[in-house]
Amino acid sequence: MREVPCHKVASGFASGPALTTRMAISFLGNVDPRTGMVVDPGHELYGQKISGKVLIFPGGKGSTVGSYVIYQLKKRGLAPAAMINLRSEPIVAVGAIISGIPLVDRVPADLLQVKNGSFIEVDSDRERVRIRTFQNDPAL
């Protein structure tokens, strides 16, 4: 298990399987708020559901409506369990805060290499991320 320090953006504790991308996410346009599915064919996560995952991505982009899309995802039970950014920006931060989704940032860039499915714990109040990889997983 690896423990990584981080910076709290939105309070809380959550855990789940990692879903990682090296691409920024626009919650307005990249993610369908009715399904929790990444619907942009140009995105690395195209066709994947973010629901219940610890979503690891560099940061957000796009319209401020993205904050409300995150909120809609949460209300429908389709939101990520937690989010980890290299550097959070206001759209993702506000979305996480109003939705009660733990969000941290200021993590090492190598977290963007965490394999999908690795077990992640995000404890934003203690400013700590724990990564548990599988036995046969040489990454991180």
Residues with a catalytic annotation lie at 63
State how far the Cα of 133 lies from the Cα of 31, in Å rounded to an integer.
27
Tally the residues of the chain.
140
Determine the angle formed by the axes of helices 90-99 and 65-75, rounding to 10 degrees: 30
Q: Read off the tokens for 49.
A: 């559901």
- 123 - beta bridge partners? 13, 128
Question: Chain centroid to CA 90: how far?
Answer: 15
